[in-house]
Amino acid sequence: MNLKTVEKFLALRGHKKYRLRQIQNLIYKNFISDWNEAAILPKDLKKDLSEKINILSFAVKKLIESKDAKAVKALFELHDKNYIETVLLETSSGNFSICVSTQVGCSVKCPFCATGKLGLKRNLSEEEITDQVLFWNQYIKKEKRKGRVSGVVFMGMGEPFFNYDLTAQSIKKLISPDFFSLASRHISVSTFGYIPGIRKFAKDFPQVNLAISLHAVNNILRNKLVPLNAEFPLEKLSKVLGEYIENTHRKVFIEYVLMKGVNDSKKDAEKLVKWLRKVASAKYFTINIIPYNETVKRFKAPSPDQAKFFESQIQMLGVAATIRKSLGSDIQGACGQLAGKRANKSKKAKKD
């Protein structure tokens, strides 16, 4: 929801100014999803709002729950008929983490990623980004689910640092006591390695977690997996990560999508650790090994044993590593599977 629009609306329709604060609390603290739930507002204002102001900036088209009920994916239709997806994930502590999108599609075009296959359609607005978190809070309330939203990861569709300003505005709202009151340290932003974005982020949000999608530590392979590596190669990434750690003293999360026969050997593990140790002391890194979700046929998932083996190699070399449990792969809601069915359909139609 856009509070500026509401403010103007209240003035135009001659409602009291202080209603704005009440509305803000109803939306961001009580998580009402219908104006009729706003018991403290007078009838005429409720009617006015119901007719003219949408609480969410998109329409909910589909909700799919995973078999184990630990993940739910939502498909939203934006005002211009573009589609985005977002996922609610139950965490081990019984709370929820939300994976949000920042763009429709993505211009980085990593060949293994379903979003990358779409190319970039457009950036999401601040409202569209933040409303994904608002929606899941409403959902938890409506469905009477136990637990609360305790974290947000910017790991859905798109490259957050290519939509920096609006992503930053959204993070500010997530942290703000007037809105979601989330702890900075429970928010993570994942980038393919956009150097100017990392620099700016270190200054603007030193307390918010930074995750780097690394996947390979030699330029030949990384150029293939992350095409923009050609422009922002590993040497530059290494330098900026070193600076980041020096300036913020924060850990960096390394995401490593493990693909069978591509980057999953013992040698790959050794080279990865060597590369990280050159950047900074090993204590500054945690490697999230993400077994590939087979969205693009060309790439294959490693066997569970191979993933375990890779993890143990890294740990033996003294770097923290965990295999990311793939929540919700049966709903195509795990990392990298967020593409928006409609967008896929339109692509197919073009081909035919």
| Residue 310 falls in which region: left (phi positive, over 0), alpha (psi -120 to 50) or beta | alpha
Q: Take residue 248 and report the two structure tokens written for it.
A: 């913020």
Nearest to 116 by CA among 295, 326, 298: 295
Query: Least distance to ligand SF4 from the beta carbon of 293, Å?
Result: 11
DSSP states along 169-218 = HHHHHHH-TTTT---GGGEEEEES--HHHHHHHHHH-TTSEEEEE---SS
**What residues contact 311, with CB distance under 8 A and at least 6 apart?**
289, 321, 322, 323
Based on CB atoms, which residue is closest to ligand SAH, 82 or 229? 229
Judged by CB, which is closer to ligand SAH: 35, or 164?
A: 164
The CB-of-167 to ligand SF4 minimum distance in angstroms stands at 13
List the single partner that 255 binds among ligand SF4, ligand SAH, none, CB under 5 to 8 Å by kind.
ligand SAH
Residues within the interface to ligand SAH (CB under 6 A): 106, 112-113, 155, 159, 190-192, 213, 255, 257, 290, 292-293, 295, 335-337
Question: Residue 264, interface with ligand SF4 (CB under 6 A)?
Answer: no
d(Cα 89, Cα 153) in Å, to the nearest integer? 10
Nearer to ligand SF4, 120 or 314 (CB): 120
CA 42/CA 36 separation, integer angstroms:
10
* Nearest distance in Å: CB 255, ligand SF4: 9
**Does 335 qualify as catalytic in the annotation?**
yes
Q: How far is the CB of 160 from ligand SAH (least distance, A)?
A: 6
One of 85, 90, 127, 128 is an active-site residue; which one?
85
List the interface residues with ligand SF4, window 93-152 (CB under 6 A).
106, 108-110, 113, 115-116
Largest CA distance in the chain: 70
Which of 99, 106, 113, 335 is an active site residue?
A: 335
Q: Does 159 bind ligand SF4 (CB under 6 A)?
A: yes
Q: Tokens for 270, please give them.
A: 């050794």
* Shortest Å, Cβ 243 to ligand SF4: 22
How far apart, in Å, do the first and last CA atoms of the chain sit? 39
> The tokens of 100 are what?
């949000």
Q: Point out which residues pair with 211 in neighbouring strands.
A: 190, 253
Q: Please, which residues have CB within 8 angstroms of residue 67's CB and are 6 or more apart in sequence?
A: 330
106 is catalytic: no
**109: partner contacted, choices ligand SF4, ligand SAH, none (Cβ within 5-8 A by kind):** ligand SF4
Binding partner of 285, given ligand SAH, ligand SF4, none, CB within 5-8 angstroms per partner class: none
Q: Is 160 in the site for ligand SF4 (CB under 6 A)?
A: no
By beta carbon distance, the residue nearest ligand SAH is: 336
> Which of the residues are catalytic?
85, 335
> Which residues would be at the binding site for ligand SF4 (CB under 6 A)?
106, 108-110, 113, 115-116, 158-159, 192, 213
